[in-house]
Structure 1
Amino acid sequence: MPGLARKIGLPLAAAALAVLTAVAPATAAGTSGAARQAAAPAYFTMTDITGARFVLQLTDAGKIAHARALLSGETTDRPHVVGRIRKVPAPYNAPWSYHYQPETVDFFDVAIEVCDAVIPYVEDHLDEAGGPFLPGLVWCPWTSRLVNEL
């Protein structure tokens, strides 16, 4: 799907991404947003096809349970990570200059191309994130997978 944004127009691609990320958190775990429960933060390491490691924080009990189920092999559903990034470092995610906003992190099976990028590429192009590259700062690395809980 190279050139998706050029073919259908960046505004339409951004709108599709907004729908994807607005709907996914409320429906992905099969619960409504009101049914979500805050939990003590849990930290997980993810990797991608490059082998780079990236730490994310989860604060939603259902998402923490899903992450643990992925790691234990209890489920293979929605194995990839999606969420909005912040262009500032987090103390738990060295050496990267960005991190996921914990309240936006969720899991997915498939996503549109406009939010896909590997961990080092995001770092190298962080100044461009939020425009045509990662519109809305939504990042969904297609090859992401959790490797452990810290």
Structure 2
Amino acid sequence: MANPVRFAFTQSAQPNLEFIVELSDEKTIAHARKILSGEEKNEVHVHGRIIKRAAAYNPKFSFHLDPNTIRFFSMAIEVCDANMTYVEDHLDEAGGAFLPGGHWCPWDSKLTREIA
């Protein structure tokens, strides 16, 4: 287990709004860094399970992603795709018919930076 490293991602509908994730798995951290360097071009979108609780490192939202579930993908099923503000606005519905199992995989997520 590595020291936690935080990364920001955006979505095309709101390119100035960042969602912060924390990674603690060495392979996942290395993968994220390859995305940012341009070395990884396929599995570049964020997937993880929602925790309906604010995290200090992601203050604009009342939810965050479980660091142990975060992975990167190239394609995913439509049922887990949603905009971050839509998720925030409908958080009480997440985990049911909306984002079953709490899985969130925004198709247009784009890692933008590592947070020092």
Task: Report the TM-score when normalising by structure 1.
Answer: 0.74
- Point out the structure with the larger strand share: 2
Q: Tell me the C-alpha RMSD between the 2 structures.
A: 0.6
The total of aligned residue pairs comes to 113
Bigger CA radius of gyration:
1
Distance, in Å, in 2 between the alignment partners of 1:101 and 1:48 is 19
Q: Does 1:40 align with 2:3?
A: yes
Task: Report the TM-score when normalising by structure 2.
Answer: 0.95
Alignment of 1:57-96 (within 5 A): 57-96=22-61
Gaps of 5+ in 2: none
- Residue 138 of structure 1: aligned partner: 103
Distance, in Å, in 1 between the alignment partners of 2:40 and 2:32 is 9
Extract structure 1 runs of 4+ deviating beyond 6 A: none
Distance, in Å, in 2 between the alignment partners of 1:135 and 1:92 is 25
- Point out the structure with the larger helix share: 1
The share of aligned pairs that are identical, in percent, is: 53
Distance, in Å, in 2 between the alignment partners of 1:73 and 1:114 is 28
Gaps of 5+ in 1: 1-37
- Residue 13 of structure 1: aligned partner: none
Larger RCO of the pair (alpha carbons < 8 Å, separation 6+)? 2
- Match of 2:46, SS state, is strand
